[in-house]
Each structure stands twice: as C-alpha cells, then as structure tokens.
Structure 1
Amino acid sequence: MSIRSIRTLLADDPDVGTGNVLTSRIALGIGLDDPLLTFDTPVDDHAAWAPFTLRELDRSVRARAAALHALGVRRRDPVVVYATAAADHVLSFLALARLGAIPALLNPKVEGERAARYISRLGAVGILTDAEHRAELAGHDPVAPLLADTSELGAGDPDAAPEPYRHSADDPVAITHSSGTTGLPKAVVHSHASLYASIRHRAALPRAQGTDRMLSVLPAPHAATLIAVNLALSTHGQLALLSQQSGAATLDAIESWRPHSVVGFAATWADLAHHDLAARDLDTVSFWWNTGDCAHEAHIRRLIATGSRETVTREGRSRVPGSVFIDGLGSTEMGHSHFFITHTLGTEKYGRCVGRPHTFVDCEVVGPDGEPLGPGEVGELATASPTLAPGYWNDSVTTYRTRLRGRFLTGDLMYRDEEGYYYHVDRLVDSVDLGDGKRLYTALSEERVLARVPDVLDCTVVAVKDGDRVVTDVLLILQDGADPGADRTGEVVAALDEHTGATVRSVLVVKGDDIPLGPTGKVRKVLLRERYLASVAGR
C-alpha cells in the first residue's frame, strides 16, 4: 500500500466523509510520521510553524476529545467554537467530530453582541472560546454556558478518548455561517457526505498541481477551511493555515513557508494588490485558488504576474515565469465552488466570468417566476449538487424559501453565454431596478471601474433610491502615489454602461477603514446604504 493509493482508498469507501477522515487515515497506517498540518500559532507542544505529523495530530485530537467528553459533550450536541487561532478551530472541529458532536464554528471577527445573538439561536450546549472572545461575550447573553478555554483542551488524556463515532452520510458534522453582510449571519449545517463530495470528485481526477503544499488564508471557521483540511488528509498533502487573512500576513507566510499554492477569498487578493508584489519572493507559488465571491480582473492580473509554474513541451518539463489563478464562485450554502475558470498571463476571458460548472453541478439561471432563462438573460442562479448544505440550522423557513425544484437559490445574479460560460453580475440584494427593463449591477460596475480607471486599487459602488430616482456613489481606494485630489468622475462614468453612469452622484476617494467589512472581508453594502439614507434624513 502506497502514499499514492490513499486518496483512492478513501474515496472508494462509502463510509468515509468529513466527520471521520482523520480516523480513516490512521486506520490505513500509511505515512503516520510525515508532516501534514501546520499552524501559525503555538499549540500543544508545537511552536508556531512546527508541523504536525499525522500521528501527532491524532494524539492532539484524541486529547481534546477526551477533555470534551469529560465535560459532558455527546453525539449530536452543538458546541460553539469562538476563538482567534486557526489551530483552535481545526483541532476543536476534529475532536468534536470524533465524538459525533456538531461543531458550530464562529468567525472571530463577529463582534460580541452579534455573536451572542447568533449563538442564542443555535441551541448550543456550550461554548469553547479564548480569553479575547470571552471578553467579547461579557455583558451579553448567548444562552449557552462557557464550557472551556480552547487552550486547556490539549491537556486531556488521549488514551481516555471514546471510540470514534460512526457517521452516516446525512449526519450533521458542522455548522458554519454566512458572511453576515446583510444582517445577522445565517447558520448553515453541513453533512458528513456533503462536505466530502468535492474531495470524492477530485479523487477521480489527476492530482492537481500545487496541492502537495498548500497555504490556506481562508477564514478558519469557514466551510472552505474544513474542505481544505479534509483534502490535505485525503491526499497526504501538506497544509499550513493562517489565523488572519491580510495581504501582509499572506506575503510573509509565502516567503517563510514556501507553498506551491495559496487558497483564499477575493478580499485577500484585493488586499495583496496594495503591496509591491514584485519586491517579494513569491517564486514557489504556482497556483492561486479562489472561492467564495469571484475575483476582480485587476487583482488576478497582479497575482499571475508573480510566481512560476511547470509546463510540458516537446523538450520536456520546465518552469516558466507567471502563475495560475483558478477562479470560481461558491458560498457557505453551496459547500464548494460550483464553477471554475483558469487564468494565466495569456488568458482574456474576464468581465466577471466564473467559467463553467463543475461536472457534479446541475444549475440554471431563472427569472423572477422561477422559470429557466436562455443565454444572455440575467437571472438568479439556482443550483443543485451533492456539495449543497442540507439547510439552515433551526431555520426551516429560510431553508425552504431558498429551494426551487430541488435546487438552491443562491441570491447571485448571473447569465450564461452561448458557449456555456457563466458570468456573475451582482448579488440580488445589491442590484437596483432602474425601470424600463434596466437594472444597475454594483459588482459589475466595480469590475468595470477597476479594469478601466488607472491608479484605482479597489472600488465600492453604493446605489440607493432617493425618492423616485436612483443615485450612486463610487468609492475609490487609490494606489500609493496617486493624486487623491484629481477628479476621476469622467473616467468612472465612461467605464460604466450608460444607464448606470447617469445615476452617478459622486466619485469619492476613501481609505480602507472607511469601508465597513463583514467577518469574511466582504463589503457590508447594506450598512453603507443605511449610512447614506441616514445622512439624507439628517439634512
């Protein structure tokens, strides 16, 4: 039995899923002393950046499982994990999954008041947290007791851990949450089978380049991180996980850990655009993997100009300058990106093109009546896939409201072209009806401004109805050295389509701190619109 056979053995076993990959790997007895997971903070007897072997990881997880079991945690118990370090989320998830409990991972950037309201809706039996987030919850009632500090769990006796729980395909194995940009985050439940479906799909394909040594700059409590961890365990790939998603932290980690690929969200790529990438040593990076929101062309082009990749020609294998960016579109509810497109220095298919669907996806674009639309027609994405989350935890109303003929209504406005490529134009809640069959798409407008207006690093378009008319503010973040006093209104309006350009009220240069972000880095446009309406009411 070889290392190469690991992913085939796991993928071919119908009992393997997100809840038991670690115990299944241990049972195979292969590569137990090879380094696999690396964390950026000290944990147990490991210094920051000191890798865990599979055997060491299993011991740490069993220690935590024993400690949690001693605290009374049992199967089907929802347990909240609210902490900063990626290690706390990953190790707590693995330990709770071993017990058959349901880890509810909460982003550390959700402030205490909202966190308490969110937790109170879960019916959790308790909360695992760190000192910083205990302080966040002080004065708020999450309607769940504090079980333990995450730093204490590793002191459990690994030999006292109960036997691993035997998962079924539809067993709930995690609760993660939406970005919360439109209000309180929505709790999304994932099953043993759904979070593993994309990995089972990948097992039938050649091993993707770069997955042998991956750096995750995903938010640790996100479903995408759980998939990345399961992928590493299932393919025997090394994975390092960052506890923060800033551009500066990402660059430092690339230079020190030397990954072959980096996986993250669009917000991190935008932050990287603020740095002089040519001055950093990024040569080992061959692939950038994006999930969540699709990325902007301007940010993609900066990244693929860095790094190097392997090519095969008649002369053999060689490395050439420039990396690969794999873009997609996914969400917490979708469980995995449902689309993909590959960008290199020679590609030109941008304009918010997210590519074609994965083979495990059955999707369509539908109109307001729920009927399928044809090529070129903008509507809402309705998608089906074995990766889909079963629904929203303790919220059957929202679960069924977002279902249509067995598909999930994502809230994304898209269209497909005659070749079967899909394009994302906006979130339904962020677009504005202009009347006469015209609609303003904020995300598509931002894409156009970034692509056509020089010196702009990032852009946010906010459109609201002011009485009977729609007005738009365009907020620009500029490159270092760009003139903040220059009037860019003409360039911005020229970049937009005619009916959107006619709504522009102001073009403003702002700083990053002026843009409110959700816990995953998405712009909270609802809050920006509320600020605008409040300023109008105050006049």
Structure 2
Amino acid sequence: MRSLRAQLAADPSVGTGNVLATVIAHGADLDGPGLTFDTAVDQFAAEHPLTLGELDERVQARTAWLHARGIGRRNVVAIWATDAADIVLSFLALTRVGAIPALLNGKMAPAIASEYIRRLRVDAILADAAHRELLAGQSDQPDSLHGAPILGEPKELGTGNPGRAPEHYRHHRDDPVVITHTSGTTGVPKAVLHTHTTLYAALKHLLTMPQAQGTDRILNALPIPHTATILMVNQVLGNRAEMLLLSSQDASDVLAAIERWKPHGVYGFAVTWAGLARADLSRYAVESVRLWFNTGDCAHEPHIRKLVAAGSRETVTRDGRVTVPGSHFIDGLGSSEMGHNGFHITHTPDTEHYGRCIGKPYQFAEAAVLDADGNELPPGRPGLLGFRSPSVSPGYWNDSVNTFRFRLNGWFLTGDLVHRDESGHYFHLDRVPDAVAGFEGPQLYTSLSEERILAALPEVLDCTVIVVPDNGSYLTDVLLELAPDADPALDRTDRIHQAVGAEVAATIRRIAVIGQDDVPVTVTGKVRKVALRQDRLAGVSS
C-alpha cells in the first residue's frame, strides 16, 4: 500500500482548502498528531497536543458556528487576532464552508487595519477582544466596520455543535481560499490572494521527496497570519508530523519554547534569527534542533553561523549514522506572492557559500535575472528577479493595478535585485525601493552593504543602511547595533569603508550607534527603510 504522503501527492483534489479532511479520508490515524497551540483551545489546555481527531472535531465545531450565521461560499471574512489558535482554527473552519479567510497581523496599526479591511470589502469580521476594542475606535458602529458585521471573537466559534457542521465545501482548483498580506513597508499592505492549488503546488513536489531531517517535530515561529504558516499547517498535516505554533515570534519566547518543547526543526523569519544570534546559545538547551528553516528575506551570514554552531544533526560516516554537534540552516528567499520559498541553500558549520547567496530555485520553479524590458541577463549582471512557479499568487485582491504592475514578460517580479553566477546560484543584492541601482550609474545596495558590515565587524549585532538622494547625488547612513561589551565611541569608519567598497564608501555621510528598538519595523519585523529615508530626507533639507 502506498504511503499517505504518496497518496496525497497523487490526489488531484487535495489542496489548501481541504488538507485536514483529505488526510483523514486517506485513512490517517485519528489518534496521530494534529496541531499544538501555545494557548488553550476550548476544553484543552495550552500546549496540549491535539490529536488529528481532536483537531477535526474542534474545526467542525467552528464550521457549525459559522454555518449557523450564514457564512458560506465566497464570503470574505477578516480575522484580526493574536493567538495562533484563533487564526489557524478559524482559517480551517472558514475554508470548510467555502469562505475566504483574510488574515490580519495582530500588530497592524488600527487605522491601517481599518483601511485594509475597507479595501478588502469583507462580508464579516472576527476579532479577539483586544482587536475588537481597537476596531471600535475606527467605526461609528460598535458591531460593524465599513458595513461589515463583527460576528464575534474567534474563541466563540468553539461553542458550535460539531454534529451540526455542514458537508465540506468541494473546492475547485482555482477557488480562492485565503488572503494574506505583505509586510507593509511602504504603507497599507497589499492583499495577496492564494487559491486551492497555488499554496499546495510546492507541497505536492515536496511530498514526492524524502522527508527532510528535522521536519518530524517543528516549532513554528513564523508570523501566524502569514502565508508561510498556512503552508506549514498543510505540510505537517500531510507529513503526519508534530508542530507547536507560537503566537509570538520574539527571540526570548522562541528560546523558551525550544528548551521546553525540544523541537527538531525551527521555522522563522530573518528577524527571529537576528534575535536568537544576540543570545549566547551555549547557555540554552537547544541541542534538540537539527534544522533552522528561513523564509521571507534571506538571512545574514553572522546570524546563520551562530545558529549552525548550536544544535545537532545526523550524518553518515564509516561507522554508520551518527549525531554530531552543529545543525543545518536552510536559507532562501520567499514572499507571500511566491507562495513558497523559491530558492534554497543549506548551511552547516562547514559552509563557506555566503555573500547573500540564496541558492538555486526549487525544481518546481523557474527564475531569471531581467532587465527593465523583461529580457534575461547573463550570469554576473545584476537585475530584477523574475519568478515563475505554480505556487505564485494569481494577484492582489481588489487590486488589478498592482497585480499587473508586478508582471513582466511572463514573469512575476518579486521586487528584488539579484545576480546569478555561472553555476546557477543566485545572490540577493537588495530590495528595489531601497537600492540605487539602475542599469547605468551608481550601484548602491543597502542589504548587501549590511551583509558586508556584519561579516567584517564581529561586534556589530545588526545594522541598517539607508541611501537618500541629495542634489543629484546620494548620501548613505549606517546605523549600528553593537554588542553590549563593544565600545560605542570607537571610530569604525575605515573598517566600514573597506567592508562596503569604494562606491558605497564615497557616499557615507553618517555612522551612528543605535539601540535595538530605534529602528522602525513592520508587523513581520522588516525594517521600514521608507520611514528612515523620510526622516533622513527631512534632515538633509533642514
């Protein structure tokens, strides 16, 4: 008999909207793993490992609650909450009735959340107590926003009667199943739509591959309302793996969970790795970790090196399979629109392939370096990153202007600047809005400069580089976060100039030491360089 993973890989009907039900239909053990949450779920205590059967029953209760309130096919329902359980269980229930959950990060500013919800034109809203109060400040009506009723708190859905749940909605491959959002580095986030098949396309490929080391027991430190968490829920249910979902991505909470829960794999964004790298990991019980998996922005070399020096991994020797000190770190580049990491490269303590290398595309994807007209550029030439994959979002919800703005000559434009070497490895240079990098003229890359500074100055825990225009030229500011024992008064100018190269060094106006909380970030922890540029431009003009 074929394994469950093989059955799922061959099943044309399985997708993001029905993974839980399909896994059960294919005969998965109801006493096997479901999901584990860091807060209580109905009658179950926090960190109770829900079995597959318990998870299904809790989702059915929520399905019945929604159905009784008229929520069904094509209804768009916004979910604004903090707890992982509130978001994930509501998502699973809404897809069962054919609705389209729109997930909002709990850290979003109320005014931006209100405008984002208005643009979505939702049919209804679910909000936890804290966020319902915030919404009240954005509306003249206590129980609605922009004409959409606030149905209740996500926890209330658990009071539904599972026995009254309607039949599972039958998804077509192109049915919309979830709306997530971008980081919002430039203002109101873009609403990213995914269908039943786009978010499952990469997982179909992975199900045909051997299951990776460290993926049997996963700590999910990814932002819960992000596309990446929806992918992970689908992945662990198909792999019949265990997963604890954290409501907070703060490094201190992640470290505590690693020590307490002993995961084999930890999944997160670059901001979490930067936070973990600030700690002396030798003082923590992290030896259970075999794999760190990064998505979103690629990670910095010094942060990766500190993580792979910790934990353990299995390797094959003449004496057979043994466990050795040091872990794996899988890096790459991904986004909500890409639907899954598009690239991958694996680091160990022995790795030397850095310099913002994001590796090669997955087998299910294609990539190219493009000029402004969509022509492919040869190795060594920097350009726009074009990406093609069955996992790519079909577009932005209610926003055809941006949907087509980011398409060029059959490619999705990720908003990144990259180059490719002769061996097919891709290297990330910067985000397009943050760089000064036309196909002619100066080549000033902020992310690459940050990478080089971090690699050259060990006492720098993190840094931010911004470039602003100045009377037809450019000025660069370098903001350094130093280790506690580093001297903030030390002149590091020469070392930084040497690290970033002559072209960037010639533009440096200011090198400043800052605190960890002095840089504005988005709800997912990305630096809001647009805000920093505006502040610096005000300084230039004054």
**TM bucket, shorter chain:** over 0.9
Corresponding position of 2:86: 88
User: Within the alignment, does 1:64 sit opposite 2:62 as a pair?
Assistant: yes
Please, what TM-score do these two structures have when normalized by structure 1? Answer: 0.98
Counterpart secondary structure, 1:514:
coil
1:389-408 correspondence runs (5 A) = 389-408=393-412
CA contact (8 A) 1:215 1:240 kept: yes
Does 2:357 correspond to 1:353? Answer: yes
8 Å CA contact 1:434, 1:470 repeated in 2: no
The equivalences for 1:24-423 within 5 A come to 24-141=22-139, 142-143=145-146, 144-423=148-427
Aligned counterpart in structure 2 of residue 514 of structure 1, from 505, 513, 518:
518
1:153-190 Cα deviation digits (max 9, x unpaired): 10100111100000011110000000101121000000
Contact 2:34 2:54 in 1 (8 A): no
The amino acid across from 1:25 in the alignment is V
Task: Report the residue type matching 2:382 in the other structure.
Answer: V
Task: Give 1:70 shift.
Answer: 1.2
Native 8 Å contact 1:434 1:440 kept in 2: no
CA contact under 8 A between 1:450 and 1:458: conserved in structure 2? yes
Residue 456 of structure 2 corresponds to which residue in structure 1? 452
Separation in 1 of the partners of 2:184 and 2:106? 13
Following superposition, the deviation at residue 7 of structure 1 comes to: 1.1
1:479 shift after superposition = 1.0
Secondary structure of the residue that 1:121 maps to in structure 2?
Answer: helix
Instruction: Letter of the 1:319 partner, please give it.
Output: T
Q: Does the 8 Å contact 1:19/1:94 carry over to 2?
A: yes
Q: Which runs of 5+ in 1 are unaligned?
A: none
Whether the aligned pair in 1 keeps the contact of 2:437 and 2:445 (CA below 8 Å) is: no
Query: What is the CA–CA distance in structure 2 between the aligned matches of 1:277 and 1:121, rounded to whole Å?
Result: 44
Q: Tell me the amino acid that sits aligned with residue 439 of structure 1.
A: Q
CA distance in structure 1 between the partners assigned to 2:206 and 2:33 by the alignment: 22
Deviations 1:289-330 (A, max 9, x none): 001100000100000000000111221111000000000101
1:138 Cα deviation after fit: 2.3
CA distance in 2, matches of 1:71, 1:509: 54
2:34 and 2:53 in contact (8 A); partners too = no
Partners of 2:189 and 2:440 in 1: CA distance: 34
Partners of 1:411 and 1:106 in 2: how far apart?
Answer: 22
* Cα RMSD for the two superposed structures: 1.2
Q: Post-superposition, which runs of at least 4 consecutive aligned residues in structure 1 deviate over 6 A?
A: none
Specify the SS of the correspondent of 2:224: coil
Deviation at 1:489, TM superposition (A): 1.7
Alpha-carbon distance in structure 1 between the residues aligned to 2:297 and 2:25: 37
CA contact (8 A) 2:33 2:240 kept: no
Identity %: 57
Deviation (angstroms), 1:436: 5.9
> Could you report, residue by residue, the CA deviation over 1:340-382 in whole angstroms, capped at 9, with x for unpaired residues?
0010111100000000111111111101122110000000011
CA-CA distance at 1:254 after TM superposition:
0.4
Q: CA deviation at 1:6?
A: 1.2
Taking the aligned partners of 2:132 and 2:247, their CA distance within structure 1 comes to 18
Q: Residues 435-492 of structure 1: CA distance to partner in whole angstroms, max 9, x if unpaired?
A: 9632100000000000001300001001101222211110011112111222212211
Q: Secondary structure at the match of 2:186?
A: coil
Equivalent residue of 2:517, what SS?
A: helix
Q: How far apart, CA to CA, are the structure 1 residues paired with 2:456 and 2:438? A: 24
Pick the aligned partner of 1:442 from 428, 446, 460: 446
Aligned residues: 536
| Deviation by residue 1:187-245 (Cα, 9 ceiling, x = unmatched) | 00001001001110011111111111011100000111001000011110001110111
Instruction: Give the SS at the match of 1:200.
Output: helix
- 1:13-24 → structure 2 map (5 Å cutoff): 13-24=11-22
Q: Distance in 2 between matches of 1:218 and 1:504?
A: 35
Which residue identity lines up with residue 316 of structure 1 in the other structure? G
1-side partners of 2:149 and 2:456: how far apart?
53
Name the stretch that deviates more: 177-186 or 135-144: 135-144
Separation (CA, whole Å) in 2 of partners of 1:139 and 1:41: 27
1:31 CA drift (Å): 1.5
- Give the residue type in structure 1 aligned to 2:209: L
Residue 485 of structure 2 aligns with an amino acid whose one-letter code is G
Change in 2 beyond 3 A, CA 1:420/1:62: same
Native 8 Å contact 1:291 1:330 kept in 2: yes
Amino acid aligned to 2:356: R
Residue identity matched to 1:97: T
Distance 2:467 2:440 in 1: 17
Tell me which residue corresponds to 2:8: 10
The offset of 1:29, in angstroms, is: 3.1
Is contact 1:489-1:506 (8 Å) kept? no
- TM-score, normalised on structure 2? 0.97
- CA–CA distance in 1 between the matches of 2:506 and 2:303? 27
Q: 1:170 to 1:435 in 2, by over 3 A?
A: closer
CA distance in 1, matches of 2:315, 2:437: 47
